[in-house]
Amino acid sequence: MEVIKGVLKNRYSSQRDFQEIISQIMNDSDVRDFVTQYQKVLTDDIIKNSYSQFLEYIDEKKRVSETGYSSNRGFVPKLKFCQTYVEVAYVPTDAFLKKQARQKIKDRIQTLEMPEDIKNYTFEDVEGTKERLEAFAYLVDFCDAEDSTDKKGAYLYGSYGVGKTYLFGALASELAQKGVSSYLAHFPSLVVSLKSAIADNSVVQKINFIKESQVLLLDDIGGESLTPWVRDDILMVILDYRMRYNLPTFFTSNLTFEQLEEHFKGTTIEDERKAKRLMERVRALSVPIRVGGENRRK
């Protein structure tokens, strides 16, 4: 008690100030309610020993009403009785909890070199123009399925700027709302990043992460610069795994299946065979759907 008195006295130099602050504390309506609520157990000693907590509570409350925040942003002060002493607890605000919940949903989406705001897209924002209705309906169906992980993915193809990547983002966000996590990668950039992972020996680890993701969305496949390594040691490894374990896999591309196979083909017979085997995986994993319309990228 003497220590607390000392602290308060330092702050309020004269005895008069000290008395004033005590009466200010004890007249605060929340403090009074608190004291009334716990009157059976709150002894005079506990009350006296709690002046600095009451004061902290009042100061913080004032700060919230003046600035909208306590010094503990996202939390508001609350008096708490702990058997033999009083404490100022900080409880999260509704806004803080909501923000945290939104963040938790966004954290289910991992991306590599995708547009900044992709996690904010929703099905509601998608304009269902005729040329993209089929793709859109397929994605909505996929999302609505009892067990999304049971369904085949889609291969959205069509020219540049028609909204394929946008649809991907919306799908990932909707899945995240349902608790499903996904990995979205711009495939040409993924290839570059895997190439640079050779130096620190992390290629295998990175591929394992990608191939095991709950839902995989590879954006712009066919846009990468293809080497046998990309085809046989990256794509084949990922897609073969996903096919064997029945893991939903989506693609977007500017190329049709036929053009993609052509892209995978090298010059030798052996290359041709490998391109065919890879295409078998792509076909097994996804339903091809054309997306049309005008180029929205102006």
Applying CB under 6 A, which residues contact ligand ADP? 125-127, 160-166, 252, 296-297
DSSP classification of residue 209: H
Nearest to 155 by CA among 237, 256, 277, 296: 256
Which one, 148 or 165, has the nearer CB to Mg ion? 165
Which one, 88 or 156, has the nearer CB to ligand ADP? 156
Residue 153 C-beta: closest distance to Mg ion, Å: 16
Rg value, the chain, Cα: 30
Rounded Cα distance between 41 and 36, Å, is 10
Residue 156 C-beta: closest distance to ligand ADP, Å: 8
Question: What tokens appear for 217 in the block?
Answer: 């969305």
Binds 135, which of ligand ADP, Mg ion, none (CB < 5 to 8 A, cut-off by type)? none
Residue 215 C-beta: closest distance to Mg ion, Å: 18
Which one, 108 or 164, has the nearer CB to Mg ion? 164
Binds 126, which of Mg ion, ligand ADP, none (CB < 5 to 8 A, cut-off by type)? ligand ADP
Q: Tell me the per-residue interface mask from 140 to 169 with Mg ion, x by CB under 5 A, - otherwise.
A: -------------------------x----
Residue 264 carries which side chain, given as an amino acid letter?
A: F
DSSP classification of residue 225: P
Rounded Cα distance between 30 and 233, Å, is 67
Can residue 173 be called a binding residue for Mg ion (CB under 5 A)? no
Alpha-helix residue ranges (DSSP H) falling in 117-268: 130-144, 164-177, 187-196, 203-211, 228, 236-244, 257-264
Binds 270, which of ligand ADP, Mg ion, none (CB < 5 to 8 A, cut-off by type)? none
Which one, 221 or 275, has the nearer CB to Mg ion? 221
Nearest to 215 by CA among 101, 102, 106, 110: 110
Binds 127, which of Mg ion, ligand ADP, none (CB < 5 to 8 A, cut-off by type)? ligand ADP
Binds 166, which of ligand ADP, Mg ion, none (CB < 5 to 8 A, cut-off by type)? ligand ADP
Q: Is 191 helix (H, G, I), strand (E, B) or coil?
A: helix
Q: Is 183 helix (H, G, I), strand (E, B) or coil?
A: strand
Which one, 165 or 182, has the nearer CB to Mg ion? 165
Binding site for Mg ion (CB under 5 A): 165
